[in-house]
Structure 1
Amino acid sequence: MSSDTSDLPNEVAERVRNVRVEDEMEQSYIDYAMSVIAGRALPDVRDGLKPVHRRILYAMHRSGITSGASHRKSSNIVGDTMGDFHPHGDKSIYDALARMAQEFSMRYPLVDGQGNFGSVDGDPPAAMRYTEARMAPIAEELLADIDMDTVDWQSNYDDRLQEPEVLPSAFPNLLVNGSSGIAVGMSTNIPPHNLGEVIDATVELIENPDATVEDLMEHVKGPDFPTGANIVGRNAVHAAYKTGRGRIRVRAEFEVEERENGSDRIVITELPYQTNKARMVEKIADAVNEGSIEGIRDLRDESDRDGIRVVVELKQNAMTEVVKNQLIEGYLEKTFGVINLALVNGEPKVLSLKETLRHYLDHRKDVVRRRSQYELAEKEDRAHILEGRLTALENADDVVDIIQDAEDRDEAKADLQTAYDFSDEQVDHIVRMQLGSLTSMEAAEIEDEYEEVQARIDRLETILGSESELLSVIKEELLEVKEEYDDDRRTSFIENTDEVTREDLIAEEDVVVVVTEQDYVKRMPVSQFDAQNRGGKGIIGGDIKEGDRVSKVFRANTHDYLLCFTNHGQVYRLKAYEIPEMSRTARGKSAINLLDLDDGEEITAVVNTDDFEDDECLSMVTRDGYVKRTDTEEFDNILSTGIIAAKLEDGDELVDVKVTDGTKDLLIATANGMSIRFDESEARAMGRNARGVHGVELRGDDEVVGMVAAADDTDENLLTVTERGYGKRTPLTEYRRQSRNGYGLMDIKTGDRNGSVTSVKAVAPDDDLIIMSRDGQIMRIRADDISEVGRNTMGVKVMELEGADQVASVDVVPDAGDEVEQEAEIDATEAAE
């Protein structure tokens, strides 16, 4: 736009800018919105407080209105807060103060109020001149150590004073007390939680940084409202913790009482959070008068200071279940919409449960680190003074003489510094020492104090020099807060017709499970690994512990029941989702937490029980070449400590297990590249305690590495992969059937280039392969990228390995092509829509 400035004075004209109205409106609105978002409406993730609450608490702290002081007029507190820190009007400040004192609004009230601060019936607080307040003991935990340079400070609105940008917050107040607020274009609604549960989850995250939301939910069961009541179902809670958003149904606590006259009554004792009791009773009465609810004879509110009690008297001929359901549907159940939105570094973000606790822990690490640095500087200063005093005590006679011979105090200081190299601070203390401090008792006290100070300095240096020590301090302080303020959960969970179990909360997806020789185990979504070209190095699939190596990788679905066979011939049953999901770079969790493994026992084969059908067997092969079949029904009831799957000779180990139906051939492969194929009927069905029969004759130090179950009319290939990353595909039809217990045929040339055979698998051309090295590299490739060649050949490079690394294990992701095509179809449909 243009503007004529010819009639304006020069100094005014120079300040005039031509701008577009829409641009100015847009920028001004954004500035206003961010001011409301950051300055009024949203809590900080670190201390869970909005600016008004933080300023009220700091003003009380500054004025000494702590839990041990006497109550002070609310108008006094509001005036101090408004005059020094929050110039937004006394009503908004008093409303915030009153809410912090309401036991029905705050799970753990931060203000100890005296007088009428409102009621669950919606009654407003009395005027601020009539009420009194002081900090609640738990509020002091939010301000603990604030005077030890633990947080950053900023100028107040008129630059007279300094106020904290955030409080140190010794517990995760954002989750413990929750928050609600409406900003510009966004809102937050965070439910309160049980302090003990939140602290336990925080400790879990300290001890296990890779903990998932499901792991944290083992501690934080769900919101814990100050008014109690019941949460209906757990799926919405899980969604809220996983994504930061969810809709939680909260139902009143009530019971149906039978009376002697044959009529029933419904007694309501707890209400959903933020329910106005008086309005609820009024609405029920209106519904009865209008006839929308039939069968209610009387309605009374018998609540008192001891708790809520609303009695609904029913007529003798009333259908109690119908009335109860009508009350639930319209009046006794409320939806709490969770929006876990908070300020992170000044920006609004929707956070999961884990993210919320992670940001809090980062804040506490900064607080404890800064506090330790502050205290260390103080202790070092004190130690310095004590060192000077100890030196003076050791040379007391000489020091006294120097002081006596000096004309004045300044000369005495100079002479002492010349004689003993004292600092200015030390000599100031020495010349002020009283003669009484020269006694042996005083000297002993100084020595004891010096030792204590030095021990504290050592401890503080340890904390500052070690992340684990820093976290241990945070953990210890959290547990102290829990011990002091923890109480019983008030909100319960009730079953629902559409109630889900934890299994229903776990996404059904294909995962890769990695097992190491030292029995660390974890799972990762297969989708994390994109298919690469043959001969690549892959990507990091695990941070393997020093001295440990990957021993097995296999594919499963999170909802599968797995039979885990070990080298000792034992078998355990495990649900795939029980294996902890972790990142690619995580080490994993010790399998001893999942399975009762003995020393030296490791998982060597995994079978999916969902593959079982009637009249099927489990065919097993050992390292020394023994093979046997056992009916699957013998593995129906597996103890938590496992059961015997196969009896082994001394020194022998179970190597592989396959599901067969009596019509298959078994193909056994050895480390030296030999293979033998025979009809599975040659290994008759035996019990679990049987050893089996010889399946292959081994030469020298050769040993069995794997087994494949093949059908006569199959078009599958035998994939063979060697320890140095070479492999090949050969049609299974090229392996003629023989009698068991022979030497078999050459499958692949091993030699110096290839190394020994690591794994054999039956694959289709459209399968994907997951290959993992012992040092933790993982790679996903298409099976048809590996050349199809004949038997007794060298193969091609499948995976590039570094140094002395070797291929540890291979597993198959079937029908990858169909999966890709389906995803492409979905993407195309979404794009069209």
Structure 2
Amino acid sequence: MSKKDIKTRIDDFIEEKIVTEKLEDIVGDRFGRYSKYIIQDRALPDARDGLKPVQRRILYAMYKMGMGSDKPYKKSARIAGEVMGKYHPHGDSSIYEAMVRMSQYFKMGVTLVDMHGNNGSIDGDSAAAMRYTEARLSKEAEALLADIEKRTVPFIPNFDDEELEPTVLPAKFPNLLVNGAAGISSGYATKIPPHNLKEVIKATIEKIDKPNVSIDKILQIVTGPDFPTGAIVQGKEGIRQALETGAGKVIVRSKTVYEQMAKDQVRIVVEEIPYEVNKAELVRSIDLLRVDKKLEDILEVRDESDREGLRISIELKKGANADMVLNYLFKNTDLQVNYNYNMVAISHQRPVQMGIMEILDSYINHQKEVITNRSNFDLDRAEKRLHIVSGLIKMVDIVEEVIKTIRGSKNKSNSKDNLIKQFGFTDLQAEAIVTLQLYRLSSTDIDQLIKESNELDERILWLKDVLSDEQKLLSVIKKELREVSNKLGTDRKTLIEDEIEAIKIEKADLIADEQVRVGITKDGYIKRANLRSYTASKQPGLKENDGMLFNQEVSTKDTLLMFTTKGNYIFMPVYELEESKWKDLGAYINNIISIEKDEYIIKVFSISDFETNQYFLLTTEHGLIKQVLLKDFLVTRYSKTIRAMKVASSDELTSVELGPKSSVIVFTKRAQVLRFPSAEVPIYGTQSGGIKSLKIAANDKVVKAIYAATSDDFLVLTHLGNIRRERVVNMPLNKRLRTPITLFSERKKNPHFIRDVARLTTQQDKEDSMILVSCKKGSLEFPISELKPSVAEYGRAYVNEEEFGKALFINVDAPIENVEEQDILDAGELIQEVRAKKETKRKEPIDHASVEAPKDELVEDKKIHIKKLSLFDEDDWKE
């Protein structure tokens, strides 16, 4: 053979055998066929009987094997083999898994398979191998299969054309709604929850009686899903939307109770959990919250489920807020889940998203076909039987001749021919006569034949009425539905609640109230340590030349307010700070909340309660001052700095003081001091600026403004490290913007400048609180009792400048006691001062240190206007 001939033959072969097509056409065609198969014949249920093909084949195979609910169990392996060999040419594992699911009470609204042995558990345990378990049909499955032998549903050949299988089951109840369905195919998915059988049947009957019934009426009957695991469903609007359109969302919440363990200790007991939630995984996730210390109020979690029912015990610590813990568990575990309806089913060979109305219509139309087909089948049989009975009755009248004819015949066939020829019997009647047993010729059997004939006449008439009158047909459907409801119906397990309860959890509520040590340095390093770590190493870990600005024992439920030079503040709950060792450096402020490069923390406060009668006094270097209510600083979002006071770019916030309202003392760098009533300082919000507090020299600036009651002292820190303790009463009470007094003179060589001032109350003095002095190169701490008395103008030196550098801040480690507003003391003191002026006829200056306000003359400043009092002259006030 020549090369040319070989090439020609190859070309002919290619042209004959190889098809040239675009890849997208080939893939599209093949995938289209595959998609059609898995949509119609695998993953989605039929709207009429609510079954997927594999489920239908399992039930039909068991029915054909005679495995009724009153028959003995058979091995599951035998059933799976029968289904696989005759109807379902797929793996036995998929068949067995489908059979197991139909037997699980916690997955199905009503179980369709009655299984002996380990068929899995709500903890996610898999069933035993099919060789170990046994099964048979349940009563509910028998209701789905009833009358299937009466040609009620169409049959098609199986995969090898050797058997016939039903395309749908007769289904004596709306199984799609009762058992629900879940599946996913190509481009479609379905998720239908189980519903209560009694409610669904009642709604079906209502739809039969009133085809145009409203969705509201149906919702009064079918109130919502009825999960086999019970629990609580919230969201009536979601149920309405789902049953109306086929898509919607509800909340499924566990059913829980509280049990008292001790006087101040309870346990949460979970009695029912949401549908399809794995109980073992749920218990593990709850316990993990305890282990990870995300929910520290949980003492122990135990699964106490037994044959009596499900029970999960969550024991709480003493004093724990059970409602808060439960809400947290609802929000963060599967104790509460969302359930999203997607009611897709096969209707007329197409996947359709259907509401309850469409599903009920589909089922009712299916039942009309089933009852019609059954009635035709029964009518045909009844007419045949009546024909036979009529022949037998006729035969009784001529029994002697009939017997004689039969005896004279050669065989059965000849007997039939002779009977037909001589007496006019039909072939069917002749067959019945020749096969009749002689004992049936007794008088009793003749009476029974006459009775049977009458009954058959009535039945035929009734069947014809059913077939000709739709109302009678519908009445048959309703009657049979009621029978199924009475026989198989159960009470509702799931509780329906109209509204979805919103869960609001404050993170602070989850935090145990624990005392910790918090340290904040002047360079912006923050750390939180437990008291054990603090006791083990009281010296904090610091960077070189850094020092403590704040060092206090606080509660984890307290809030830190950190004020910066730019007029901003940082809102930081203590529990938000990561715990570290006291000797560690801590976290840098910019890693927590971003601040500007030239912005520094100047003051830190620990706040336990924002609703107390306290105020912040804020002052800038240029002398602008204002008061702000403490509660105005409470915020819910704190991911960045928040404005505390509007400060000009050329100015800086230099002083922040917290306390009950008293008189205000303002200090400048060059020791100028002015004391005046706090009533003269307006109360503004956090977004505004302030007003002028006093007249400042060009080369001076305000360094501090404090609240001070008459009984208080104050500590003045100079930049050279001296501390001077002074009584508040030694500072004359004046008016805002008046000329200040000089606290100490400014010497030409190595002068002292005021760097900071701290208020010292009688309570702090009595408790011997700690004084914290922050410097350029570190900090030092000592008790108030070490403040030795000094009459020196600049006080006593406490800071070694060579070791610590210039002094920066002074702080007293104790909160100001929460007392009532103390401006009244200042008003009383001012009254006494004016009285003293009158007594001395204005000849001698008033000694403020010696004047105290009498308690019986104290009046609230907001109800008094001092300049209008008659006990001193207007001119005295103006001076």
TM-score (norm. length: structure 2) = 0.55
Instruction: Give the 5 Å matches for 1:352-371.
Output: 352-371=355-374
1:181 equivalent to 2:180? Answer: no
Which amino acid is the alignment partner of residue 458 of structure 1?
Answer: L
Counterpart residue number, 1:100: 102
Query: Using the alignment, how far apart are the partners of 1:279 and 1:486 within structure 2?
Result: 32
Q: 1:395: Cα distance to partner?
A: 2.0
Q: Report SS of the residue matched to 1:147.
A: helix
Query: Using the alignment, how far apart are the partners of 1:37 and 1:214 within structure 2?
Result: 32
For each residue in 1:490-529, what CA deviation from the matched residue of structure 2 results, as whole angstroms up to 9, or x when unmatched?
A: 0002353669xxxxxxxxxxxxxxxxxxxxxxxxxxxxxx
Q: Report SS of the residue matched to 1:123.
A: coil
Query: Using the alignment, how far apart are the partners of 2:8 and 2:355 within structure 1?
Result: 59
Q: 1:412: Cα distance to partner?
A: 3.7
Counterpart residue number, 2:167: 165
Cα 1:407–1:278 change in 2 (3 A) is: closer
For each residue in 1:116-150, what CA deviation from the matched residue of structure 2 results, as whole angstroms up to 9, or x when unmatched?
A: 11111111111111111111111111110111101
**Contact 1:152/1:166 (<8 A) preserved:** yes
Counterpart residue number, 2:399: 396
Counterpart residue number, 2:443: 440
Query: Identity over aligned residues, as a percent?
Result: 41
Counterpart residue number, 1:318: 320
Which amino acid is the alignment partner of residue 125 of structure 2?
Answer: D
Among 425, 429, 433, the residue aligned to 1:426: 429
For each residue in 1:415-468, what CA deviation from the matched residue of structure 2 results, as whole angstroms up to 9, or x when unmatched?
A: 322333211111122233344333322211111111111211111111111110
Counterpart residue number, 2:304: 302
Instruction: Give the 5 Å matches for 1:51-62.
Output: 51-62=53-64
Q: 1:320: Cα distance to partner?
A: 2.0
1:470 equivalent to 2:473? Answer: yes
Among 298, 313, 331, the residue aligned to 1:329: 331
Counterpart residue number, 2:641: none
Counterpart residue number, 2:874: none
Q: Report SS of the residue matched to 1:226.
A: coil
Which amino acid is the alignment partner of residue 484 of structure 2?
Answer: V
Counterpart residue number, 1:113: 115
Q: Over alpha carbons, which structure has the higher Rg?
A: 2
Among 69, 72, 77, the residue aligned to 2:71: 69
Q: 1:410: Cα distance to partner?
A: 4.1
**Contact 1:294/1:323 (<8 A) preserved:** no
Among 73, 79, 82, the residue aligned to 1:80: 82
**Contact 1:212/1:354 (<8 A) preserved:** no
Among 479, 496, 499, the residue aligned to 1:496: 499
Q: Report SS of the residue matched to 1:259.
A: strand
For each residue in 1:739-792, what CA deviation from the matched residue of structure 2 results, as whole angstroms up to 9, or x when unmatched?
A: xxxxxxxxxxxxxxxxxxxxxxxxxxxxxxxxxxxxxxxxxxxxxxxxxxxxxx
**Contact 2:393/2:449 (<8 A) preserved:** yes
Query: Using the alignment, how far apart are the partners of 1:6 and 1:411 within structure 2?
Result: 74
Instruction: Give the 5 Å matches for 1:598-747.
Output: none
Counterpart residue number, 2:382: 379
Cα 1:83–1:315 change in 2 (3 A) is: same
Number of matched pairs: 496
**Contact 1:170/1:477 (<8 A) preserved:** yes
Cα 1:391–1:176 change in 2 (3 A) is: same
Which amino acid is the alignment partner of residue 488 of structure 1?
Answer: D
Q: 1:65: Cα distance to partner?
A: 1.4
Query: Using the alignment, how far apart are the partners of 1:69 and 1:120 within structure 2?
Result: 28
Instruction: Give the 5 Å matches for 1:562-581.
Output: none
Which amino acid is the alignment partner of residue 428 of structure 2?
Answer: E
Q: 1:233: Cα distance to partner?
A: 2.2
Q: Report SS of the residue matched to 1:317.
A: coil
Among 338, 343, 346, the residue aligned to 1:343: 346
Query: Using the alignment, how far apart are the partners of 2:306 and 2:443 within structure 1?
Result: 66
Q: Report SS of the residue matched to 2:171.
A: coil
Q: Report SS of the residue matched to 1:306.
A: coil
Query: Using the alignment, how far apart are the partners of 2:128 and 2:327 within structure 1?
Result: 38
Counterpart residue number, 1:287: 289
Q: 1:413: Cα distance to partner?
A: 2.9
TM-score (norm. length: structure 1) = 0.58
Query: Using the alignment, how far apart are the partners of 1:6 and 1:387 within structure 2?
Result: 80
Q: Report SS of the residue matched to 1:255.
A: strand
For each residue in 1:84-108, what CA deviation from the matched residue of structure 2 results, as whole angstroms up to 9, or x when unmatched?
A: 1111101111111111111111111
**Contact 2:234/2:501 (<8 A) preserved:** no
Q: 1:223: Cα distance to partner?
A: 0.4
Query: Using the alignment, how far apart are the partners of 1:377 and 1:343 within structure 2?
Result: 32
For each residue in 1:714-757, what CA deviation from the matched residue of structure 2 results, as whole angstroms up to 9, or x when unmatched?
A: xxxxxxxxxxxxxxxxxxxxxxxxxxxxxxxxxxxxxxxxxxxx
Counterpart residue number, 2:463: 460
Query: Using the alignment, how far apart are the partners of 2:125 and 2:151 within structure 1?
Result: 42
Query: Using the alignment, how far apart are the partners of 2:106 and 2:409 within structure 1?
Result: 71
Measured on the aligned residues, the alpha-carbon RMSD in Å equals 1.8
Counterpart residue number, 2:25: 23
Cα 1:407–1:317 change in 2 (3 A) is: closer
**Contact 2:237/2:498 (<8 A) preserved:** no
Query: Using the alignment, how far apart are the partners of 2:13 and 2:170 within structure 1?
Result: 49
Which amino acid is the alignment partner of residue 109 of structure 1?
Answer: T
Q: Report SS of the residue matched to 1:247.
A: strand
Counterpart residue number, 2:486: 483
1:231 equivalent to 2:233? Answer: yes
Q: Report SS of the residue matched to 1:218.
A: helix
Cα 1:403–1:9 change in 2 (3 A) is: farther
Query: Using the alignment, how far apart are the partners of 1:494 and 1:412 within structure 2?
Result: 76
Q: 1:7: Cα distance to partner?
A: 4.8
Query: Using the alignment, how far apart are the partners of 2:56 and 2:412 within structure 1?
Result: 49
**Contact 2:251/2:500 (<8 A) preserved:** no
Which amino acid is the alignment partner of residue 316 of structure 1?
Answer: K
For each residue in 1:268-301, what CA deviation from the matched residue of structure 2 results, as whole angstroms up to 9, or x when unmatched?
A: 0000000011111111111122222231111111
Counterpart residue number, 2:563: none
> Which ranges in structure 1 are unaligned for 5 or more consecutive residues?
500-833
For each residue in 1:146-173, what CA deviation from the matched residue of structure 2 results, as whole angstroms up to 9, or x when unmatched?
A: 1110111111111111111111111100
Counterpart residue number, 1:266: 268
Q: Report SS of the residue matched to 1:478.
A: helix
